[in-house]
Structure 1
Amino acid sequence: MTITAPAQPQTATDATGLPAWFTHDRFGMFIHWGLYALPARHEWIKNREYITEDAYQKYFDHFDPDLFDAADWARRAREAGMKYVVLTTKHHEGFCLWDTALTDYKSTNTRFGRDIVREFVDAVRAEGLKVGFYHSLIDWHHPDFTIDGHHPRRNDGDAEIARLNEGRDMARYREYLHGQVEELLTDYGQIDYLFYDFSYREDDHHDVWGGKGRDDWGSEELLALTRRLQPGIIVNDRLDIPGDIVTPEQYQPDKPMELDGVQVPWEACQTLNGSWGYDRDNMNVKSVDLLVRMLADGVSNNGNMLLNIGPTGRGEFDGVSRATLDGMGTWMHQHGRSVYGAGPSSFVAPPNTVYTQRGNRLYLHLFAWPFEHVHLAGLAGKVEYAQLLNDASEIAFRSIDPSVRAITTGLGGQPAGTLTLTLPIQRPDVALPVVELFLEDDA
C-alpha cells in the first residue's frame, strides 16, 4: 500500500469556521453498499435475522457486482444537483470495500476482486464533486468485537454469549478500527467529509445492553488522528464526542438546530424508502416533490440534505433510484440557486411556504399553489423585481393599503408593510414552484 502525506488543509471557511463548501453546497448523495445488497432485505439484515457468520458467508462468496460503474454513480449524483458523495467504506456487517491490509474480509478477495473505494474516489473527483466516507464504528464480523444488544448473536443465551465473548478484546478491535481509518485517510488523497456511525452507550439514552461509546472507540484519539491526516475535514457527531455538524436521521427539524442555545450546522440524512441498503420489496418510496420540499425546508432552517441510494447486488442504481435522481436533477437545474449558497431568512414566510435567502435574493418556495395572490409580510417597499425561478417570467406585485376594506373586487385588509404577489392561475409544471425576489439594497 502506498502511504501518502497528509492532505492539504481546506482553508476557505464560513462564519462558523466550517469549511465553506459544506453550507454552500447543501445537497449530497449517501451510498450504502455492501454484502447486504444480495439478500436485499435491509442493511441490518444480519442483525434483524440473527444471522451467524457461517450463514452470512454465502453473500461474500457470491458478491460479484458486474454492472458496477463508479463513473455512472458520480455522473448521476452530479446531474441530480448533488455536490458531494459519501460512500460506506464499511458498514456494521464488517465487509470492507477497499483493499485493506488489516482483514481478508474485503472486496478485493471476492469474485469481483476490485478496490471499490479507489474507483469511487477517482470517479467522484472526476465529476468535480467532494469526496466523503462513511465508516462504521461497529463490526459484527470482527473476532474481537464483543457481543452486545445490537449484535446478531445477542439472543444466543447468556452461556453462549459468555463463551463467544471469551477472549474477545475491544482494545485489539480499537487498534483495528484506528488502523483502517488511517489507511482510508492516507491512501486516497484529500477526503472532504467523514461520517462515523455510531455510538450507543447505555447511559446515553440508549436501551441496548453492553452499549458502546467513546471509550470503546477511543474517540478522542480517533478524532485527533482524523484531523491530523486530513486537516480541514468535516467530521460528524456520532463518535460520542462533539463533531463539526449534527446529523438528524430520517426526520426533518422544524427550525434551525441548536446546541446550548447556539445554532449549529446540520445535515439531515434521508432515505428513499426507509432503508439504507438495497431493499427490493420495499415500495414505501418518497416522491420527488416531497424530497424537493424536504431539501428546501432544510435549507430554510440552515441545514443540508444527504439523500441515500442503495445500489443493487449487481452494482447499479435501480429504476426507482434513477427516476428519483432524474426528477431531482430536473428541479435543481432550474432552481439550484435557491439552494446553493442559500440559507435562512430573517423574513417570516407565509403559511405553506418557506424562504431561503442568498444575499439580496429571497426565494419563496410554494408548498401549496394559492389562488392568484400570496401576501408577504414586511416586504412592502423592499422588493425591486420578482419572477418565477423556473422560467424567469415576471411576477407582478404591489403593496396594499391596509385601510382599504375589500368587500367585493378589491384587495385590502392586509397589515401595513405587506407585499402582495399576483401569481398565474396555472401552477408551473415543476416539482416545487419558487418565486425569486430581488431585494432593494437597503432591505
Structure 2
Amino acid sequence: MPPPPFGARSPFMTDDFVQDGAVDPRAALIEPQALPRVQAFEGLGFGLFVHFGLYSQLGQGEWVWYHHQMDREKYLELFASFDPKGFDADALCALAAEAGCRYICLTTRHHEGFSLYDTRGLNDYDAPHACGRDLIAEYSAACEKHGLKKFFYHTTLDWWHPDFDGNWDAYQQYLRDSVKILCTQYGRVDGLWFDGNWARKDRDWQEDALYGMIRSHQPEAIIVNNSSIGAKGAEGHPDTDAVTFEQGAPSRRNQRGAAKYRAAEMCDTMNSHWGVGAHDLSHKAPEDIIRNLVACRAVGGNLLMNLGPLGDGSIPGYEREVLKLVGRWCQICPSAVYDARPDWSLTGRGGSVLLRQGSTVYHFVPQVRIKGNTHLANGEPGDGLQTIAGPLGRVSAMRWADNGEPLSFTQDGERLVYSATPYPYGSQLIYRIAIIETA
C-alpha cells in the first residue's frame, strides 16, 4: 500500500488518553506539519544567489578585505569608485527565470558592511550615496516583473561598523534597524537569508528580537540563518524556517518528533568564490549543477546556485550561458523538478531518483546510453533495464519526458522493470526523466 499522505496519522497511533503535562511517547513517531510558507518554499526548488558589493571591483572574492589584510582606508576607496553601470536588475531577473530559478537572493549587505539599499540615515555607507542608485529598489521591481520570489541576503557579521567590536547591544539595534528598512520599504519580502552568527558563537545575537520584528512586518517571509560550511544542517533558532547546507548536498533528515518542520537548502558557488574571482578557473559545468539540483530534490531540498557579477555589476558570460543550459533541462519536465516530492517507499537502481506527485511518479535516470554503434562511446555499458521496487500502484503508462517516447514495462506486484531506451544520437541530458502514470 502507498505511504500515508503527508501529515496523516501514523497507523501506530491510537486515541489513548495521555495525562495533561505528561510527555507523550507517541510524539516521536510524528513528523510535524510544515507551515504553508515552508511548503511553498520547498516547491520553489531552485534559486539564484547573487553576491555583489564593493569587493566585486577587485575580482578577488567577497572576503578579499579580510584575507588580504587590506588597510581599512585603502579598502574604503572602493566606495568612491563604485560605479555599477552594468548592473541591470531586469536582465539579472530575466536570466534567473530563464535558468529555471523560481526565487532569487541578492546580497543587500555583505560582511564589508556596505549596503546596496538606502539606509535612510543610519549611515552614508550605501549605494545611493556611492552611485546615486538604490539597487535594491531596482531589484525588487525586477523580481515582481519576472515573477520571482524575492529574497534578501543580509550579513550579521560586520567588518565596517565600529559597534560590532565595541558596543554589542548598539550593534544589534543597528542590525535590527537595517533589516527593518528592508521589511518596510521594499514591498513584499518572500525571504530573509542571514549569515555571520558563526563568527561570534559566544555572543547573544538577540534573534528573538530580530525575528519578532520581521514577523511583525513580513509574517510570511521565510527566515534562514546560515549555519556555515562547518555545521551543515544545524537547526539553530526555532523561528528559522530552513536549514542550510553550504557547498554540500543535503542528506535525508528525520524530523519525526521535531518541534517544527524545516525545509533544507543547499547553497553553492559557480567556482570557488561567492564574489567574482577573476583568476578562479574552477567553474562548474551545467552537468555539475544539474546533478546537485537532482541531489537536492531527491531529499526534498532546494538548490540556491550563486553567481558573482563583475565589478561594474554585469553578468559574466560563462555563468550566463551555463545557467541558460540548466534552464533548458528544467523545462523538459517542470512538474518533476518543482512539484514532485520524495517517495521513500520506492527504490531504484543505484544513482537514480524517484519523486512522486499524486498518481504520477518521476524516475530520474543517470547514465542512459546514446543510440549509436560500436565505433562510438555512447554512455555506460549495460542492458538499459531499470527496476523499481515498492508500492507504485498499478502502472498504466510510461514515457520519456524529453520526447514522449513510450516505454515498455512489466509489473509483478511491487516490482516494475522497464527498458531505459537510449537517447537519440545528438542528445545527452545528464538525467533522463521517465514519467510513470499509475492508477
- How many residues were matched structurally? 380
Residue 226 of structure 1 aligns with an amino acid whose one-letter code is I
Per-residue deviation at 1:433?
1.0
Quick one: distance in 1 between partners of 2:188 and 2:73?
Answer: 37
Quick one: distance in 2 between partners of 1:425 and 1:360?
Answer: 26
Match of 1:255 in 2: 252
Q: Does 1:200 align with 2:198?
A: yes
Quick one: distance in 1 between partners of 2:393 and 2:36?
Answer: 35
Per-residue deviation at 1:379?
5.9
Match of 1:9 in 2: none
Which runs of no fewer than 5 residues in structure 1 stay unpaired?
Answer: 1-13, 147-167, 202-210, 401-415
SS for the counterpart of 1:340 is helix
**After superposition, what is the alpha-carbon deviation per residue over 1:66-122, rounded to whole angstroms, capped at 9, x for unaligned?**
111100000011111111111111000001001112111111122x32000000000
Quick one: distance in 2 between partners of 1:380 and 1:196?
Answer: 40
Residue 418 of structure 1 aligns with an amino acid whose one-letter code is R
Match of 2:106 in 1: 87
Match of 1:105 in 2: 125
Contact 1:373 1:421 in 2 (8 A): yes
Closer, same or farther in 2 for the Cα pair 1:423/1:241, shift >3 Å? Answer: closer
Quick one: distance in 2 between partners of 1:213 and 1:197?
Answer: 16
Per-residue deviation at 1:15?
4.3
Residue 81 of structure 1 aligns with an amino acid whose one-letter code is G
Quick one: distance in 1 between partners of 2:95 and 2:107?
Answer: 18
Q: Does 1:241 align with 2:272?
A: no
Contact 2:393 2:438 in 1 (8 A): no
Closer, same or farther in 2 for the Cα pair 1:263/1:188, shift >3 Å? Answer: closer
Q: Does 1:391 align with 2:403?
A: yes
- Identity among equivalent pairs (%): 31
Match of 1:219 in 2: 207
Match of 1:349 in 2: 348
Quick one: distance in 2 between partners of 1:383 and 1:301?
Answer: 24
What are the within-5 Å matches in structure 2 for residues 427-442 of structure 1?
428-440=427-439
What are the within-5 Å matches in structure 2 for residues 13-412 of structure 1?
15-19=33-37, 20-101=39-120, 102-110=122-130, 112-146=131-165, 168-200=166-198, 211-212=200-201, 215=204, 217-238=205-226, 240-242=236-238, 243-256=240-253, 258=255, 264-345=262-343, 346-369=345-368, 371-378=383-390, 382-399=394-411
Computed over aligned residues only, the root mean square deviation of the Cα atoms, in angstroms, reads 2.0
Per-residue deviation at 1:267?
0.8
Quick one: distance in 2 between partners of 1:23 and 1:95?
Answer: 31
Contact 1:257 1:263 in 2 (8 A): no
Contact 1:257 1:265 in 2 (8 A): no
Residue 387 of structure 1 aligns with an amino acid whose one-letter code is R
Residue 105 of structure 1 aligns with an amino acid whose one-letter code is Y
**After superposition, what is the alpha-carbon deviation per residue over 1:250-278, rounded to whole angstroms, capped at 9, x for unaligned?**
00123236486686311111111131111
Residue 367 of structure 2 aligns with an amino acid whose one-letter code is A
Residue 344 of structure 1 aligns with an amino acid whose one-letter code is P
**After superposition, what is the alpha-carbon deviation per residue over 1:397-432, rounded to whole angstroms, capped at 9, x for unaligned?**
1136xxxxxxxxxxxxxxx74211112234643232
TM-score by length of 1: 0.81
Per-residue deviation at 1:24?
1.3
Contact 1:195 1:235 in 2 (8 A): yes
Quick one: distance in 2 between partners of 1:417 and 1:234?
Answer: 39
**After superposition, what is the alpha-carbon deviation per residue over 1:210-268, rounded to whole angstroms, capped at 9, x for unaligned?**
x24661x3211001001111011110144852311111110012323648668631111
TM-score by length of 2: 0.82
Contact 2:156 2:196 in 1 (8 A): yes
Per-residue deviation at 1:439?
1.6
Per-residue deviation at 1:380?
7.5
Residue 354 of structure 1 aligns with an amino acid whose one-letter code is V
Residue 104 of structure 1 aligns with an amino acid whose one-letter code is D
Quick one: distance in 2 between partners of 1:194 and 1:328?
Answer: 25
Quick one: distance in 2 between partners of 1:38 and 1:237?
Answer: 27
Quick one: distance in 1 between partners of 2:277 and 2:172?
Answer: 31
Closer, same or farther in 2 for the Cα pair 1:139/1:318, shift >3 Å? Answer: same
Per-residue deviation at 1:372?
2.5
Contact 1:88 1:134 in 2 (8 A): yes
Quick one: distance in 1 between partners of 2:311 and 2:340?
Answer: 37
